[in-house]
Structure 1
Amino acid sequence: MGGWLDLTTGMGINVGDYFTKVSSQIMDFVSGLSPGKKLAMVGVGGGILMVIIGMFFWAGDKTFSPLMTNLNPEDSANIIRLLREKNIPFRVDQGGKNISVTPENLDQLRLEIATMGFPENSVVGYEIFDKQSLATTSFVQKVNQKRALEGELMRTIKSISGVKRARVHLAIPTKSTFVEDQKKSTASVVLDLEPGVVLSEKQVYGIGTLVARAVEGMDTTDVVIVDNHGKTLSKNASDSLAQATATQLEYRSKVEGDLEKRVEAILGRVVGEGHVIAKISADLDFAQVNETQTIYDADGSAVRSVQRDTKSMEGSRPTASGPAGALSNTPGQTPGAGVVKLSDTKTSNETTNYEVPQTVRRTQKSVGSIQKLSVAVMMDGKQTRTPAADGKFETKSEAWSAEKLKEFEDIVASTVGLDRKRGDILEIKTMEFKQEDFLEAELVLKEKERKSYIQNIVLYSVIGVTIVLFFLLVVRPFIKWITENTIDSVDTFLPQTLEELERMQKNAILPGLEEAIPVLPDRVDPEKVEGEMIKEKIITLVDSNPHKAALILKDWLHEPVKKEDGAEGDKGGGPGKSKTG
């Protein structure tokens, strides 16, 4: 029979005897346990076995990666049909909305699905016109145009963060010949949002503007936006007006708050923080006014051009003479000549063109400009400290002088930009502020801190006691139980007597190793073995601490030897004889 070699002792161990011994020890160990310990071992062993089996299943299970998410039933059915045709393993989650496949097939399937038009097959865009027939009627063309526009808007809205799906319905009326009969286009948008997503007013307004600008003749107020729960998200004209009013009030409060903080900050450095209160009422102008003004400067006119026209006439002209009648007009007759003397004529015209300077001013008044300010400031009295009879100081409040109040008015007027011409009002009053009694509040705060401190102490104490009890009642008994069982098993497994050790050595020597293993004598002298062990121990101690060993030997050499001690040493083996060998 084969065996093992124990290199520490040089002895061979029979394999069959070893396993027989171990199995018997295990059976004895189990039989010696109480029913509770047996049940605990069964439970722990079963749990470990289940964990191991689960790890094997988990290691052998295929990992899946999401292929498509948030699918509608039609797209999900088409993709599942494709996967089954290709015999590709897949997993469906969320009621068919999410489909997952193995990582090695993920990229290829995504490309194939994108080529087939999934998951956008239910949304038709302008690609509907790619396969349009020449025999398509005008009515079908209008319907396809409407479907394409709705589909493109759906795709665009779906790309917005937080929007899972979108439906767009357009109502585009037929164009009328008469303008007064033309109806406006309207739109309805249904949004399916991601869980926990709430669109802001700006996002809703942006979606409405997107739809309105995509359809001719549509205004933002003609777009109604609702979510998948039927809640209206868009605002109508009245809501827009209310929103504008709320914005104006918010801006007014901000202006008033900023001015109040300025006044309190600058006066607080003088009278003390918390000793001044400022309240300001601002009248703002939110009207949008555009003005165009043209100014002519007559005094600064200049001659641009001068045009002069002069005419003159001088000399005489002949006049008709001879008797009146037919004789004078008969051919061949020469009338007597006459000359009329004319006076000289001279005409002169002059036109002067002037360039008049003009200034054109186009003014757009800012919205929210201040028209009037009403400022009210209340100040605490001047705080003075006077020594009291008990040695402490007493604080008294005195009214500020008129000169100081005038200085405060000038400071406040400059801080808020006060303008008396537009009717601004400023009032500063001095009154004694009520001093709050902080003693009671301080006591309440201290009591609260004390309770919190006690609660923390109790909490940490309970945690510490729980840890100690767990160690004493669970960890320590478990360690003791394991240690005792291990010690008992080792003590039982080892040989108990020298005869048993010799018998084990003789029975466990492997074939061919008789010469390699030193042969032990038939009988082992216990006193010799004990002496050798003591000798080895003394040598080890001397090597570890030679100085101390030298001192001990020196004391032994100088110690007088008595007869009684010598007799006892001979009888029991003195340290110089039996102990050192």
Structure 2
Amino acid sequence: MNNFSNLLRSLGVVRLASLGLVAVALLAFFAFIGLRLGAEPKALLFSDIGVEDASRMIAELDAAKVSYELRGDGSMIYVPQADVLRLRMMLAEKGLPAGGTVGYEIFDNADALGTTSFLQNINHLRALEGELARTIRAIDGIKGARVHLVLPERELFSRERREPTASIVLKVNRDTLSTQQVKAIQYLVASAVDGLAPTRVSIVDERGTLLASGAGDDSQAIFASSIDERRTGYEARLRTHLENIVQRIVGVDKARVEVTAQMDYNRITQTSDTFDPNGQVVRSTQTVEDSSSSADGAANDGVTVGNNLPNANLGGTEGEAGAREAANRTEETVNYEISRTTKTEVLEPGRVKRLSVAVLVDGAYVQGADGSMVYTPRAQQELDKIEALIKTAMGFDEVRGDQVEVVNLPFAARPELDAGTAATDEAAGFMGFTRADIMRLAELAVLAVLALIAIFFVARPLLARTGGFAGGAGRLALPGGSGGGMSGGQAALAGPGDGDALAGALPAPEQLSDDMLIDIAQVAGKVKQSSVRKIGELVSSHPDESISIVRSWLHETA
């Protein structure tokens, strides 16, 4: 006990305070690691939930006596990993999370007999809005939605009918929604509401950006956006196609292709008639025949009774008759039908007027004499072949004014950097460990390192210091004359087993006076000043032997 007290006094107040702080910190750290390792791992139950849903979920979890954690300002709830599926089914049975909206479950506990028609209509409107909001939230990229419907009632004997309208506020995960997603939401809501047109649905995001006006005539805006999307999609598809071809030649990530397409946005309707003269067909034929005859009656011009009698001239001679004249005419009309082709051609907007393609190709890298990668430009013949492939793949049309440019320049990224990145990515997914597994292994590694540091730098010096003090006390506590022929002072310095080293060097016991003898075993925590002075004189007179003894002590302590 005295040795321990002497040890504490020798350390001092500052060292004791430092050791105490280190010990408390180590205990706290070990306790934290022990709790982390001993606690059951938590898993995400629900995220991005509202305050109302979170409070109801917490009440259900408390009733079920399930431990949980709230993170992310209360928008995320973590529960034991083994109970995630069971708790989700339990909360789904309670209608959670409801998303802050009410659906058709509003009619489950409603009193049909005591409810007015006005209240029924309001509840039906609320239920319809809530169901639509839930459906919209199920779309990828949408975190929240609020739907407002205006369903005007048609009055009796009224000829005018107002159209229903809808307004939607969306909370999206990314910057904005695509045009196709906005149109999908419009048609989804319009199909669920009787008489609602898709163009009467207005959509706004949480930042106040107008995604759909709902003014009723968005045909021009929709048409312009569809044309722009068509151009962007065409450029992206052609760029990917060309990059795949070039990268098969120069290597992956060794080529970049940019495509610019000029589109014709005009709608053109063309009508043309084509006649084929060689394809004539007889359609109709008309024939007209005409015959006439006349006689010259100059000799019988007189008006007599004989001329007016029938057959008065039958008996006469031909010479007596006048000159006769006969005429025949035939007319034929043939109608032919000529082959005719009428073609009406409608050219929709979005036609490609011109294509411009820029291809950037990296050079080749050859290992130099010093081991570094040396850049080597590609041959012009190889670039010409790449340009020919690009023209064939893109449908190059010189009349249209298409342009293709292939340039060989060194890329900023070197192969060494690419290899290091690939190695890092491969190490990140080593043996299929998840991020949680890697973090847990890292915690165990840190715990092991800190434990080793605590053992080697805290516990071992304390044990060594305590053992050295006790051993020194045992070696100094030899009684006088028990050092194998040495005096008490010699025994005090030599300790056990060191008498031979000082047997011939130190004075004989009889040469020392009584006040020079020191027996540490009889001293209770105090030593005479004269004894300490005499020991110092012995050390001064015999330095080599004293050094060897001290070294042996240090060796035994270590």
> TM-score scaled by structure 2?
0.43
